[in-house]
Amino acid sequence: MNDRAILMTIAVLGGTGKEGKGLAWRWAKAGYRVLIGSRSEDRAKAAALELLELLNGKAFVEGTNNLRAAQAADVVVLTVPYAAHRETLESVREAVQGKLLVDVTVPLVPPKVTKVQMPPAGSAAQEAREILGEEAQIAAAFQNISYEHLMSDEPIGCDVLVTGTSKEARAEALKLVEAAGLTGWDAGPLENSVVAEGMTSVLIHINKQYGSTHAGIRITGANNRQS
């Protein structure tokens, strides 16, 4: 735990879902103040209590609605299903101005979730930029990490690609990747998020094809990695 972790508040919007809950657990364990956001405040509070029990009460986790969580946070992490992506962003648009938004959303279109289906904007993260405005600082990350990995204390053998609207946005997101106990890579501008988002459907297909639950990616052959 460090001073930066103690002082920073992370809002996980959609934090009652598996991915959001897994990330919230890891950041709370690392010493960050974590706010679980949801459309249902009751569900958010229940999820926060669940995480506190897992952490033996030795963490700061609170549940509230998405807007209040976004207003109170230093960094906002969006982990909602794609069907709720636009609605959630529009509801917190003013609250996230001047803050980093880390978009974890993947544009999966049930029932064909093993087929890559990108939105007209190019990716969910690029769609977020259209909704929030060109000045918004957005990073996209964590699309290829399974819930099973996030909620495990075992070492995670897969990496995180981080794209973003600026080098500064990517650098801040990479700090969160490291705090979650993962290895992150600066994967370039936000336009490159189409690759990481699309890869999720490929990994879902691999899981189904080979009877797994947590296929991931690793970057090999790159030296002198810098966060």
- Predicted local confidence at residue 2, as pLDDT: 57
- Predicted local confidence at residue 6, as pLDDT: 57
Collapsed DSSP state (helix, strand, coil) of residue 155:
coil
pLDDT at residue 48 greater than cutoff 80 = yes
pLDDT per position as a tens digit, 126-168: 999 999 999 999 999 999 998 888 888 878 889 999 999 999 9
pLDDT at residue 60 greater than cutoff 80 = yes
Domain boundaries, given as residue ranges, for the chain: 3-210
Structure token pair of residue 47 = 């999820």
pLDDT per position as a tens digit, 173-193: 999 999 999 999 999 999 999
Predicted TM-score (pTM) of the model is 0.93
User: Which CATH number applies to 3-210: 3.40.50.720, 2.60.40.10, 3.20.20.60, 3.30.70.260?
Assistant: 3.40.50.720
Do residues 144 and 158 touch, judged by C-beta distance below 8 A? yes
Question: What is the rounded distance in angstroms from the CA atom of residue 73 to the CA atom of residue 62?
Answer: 12
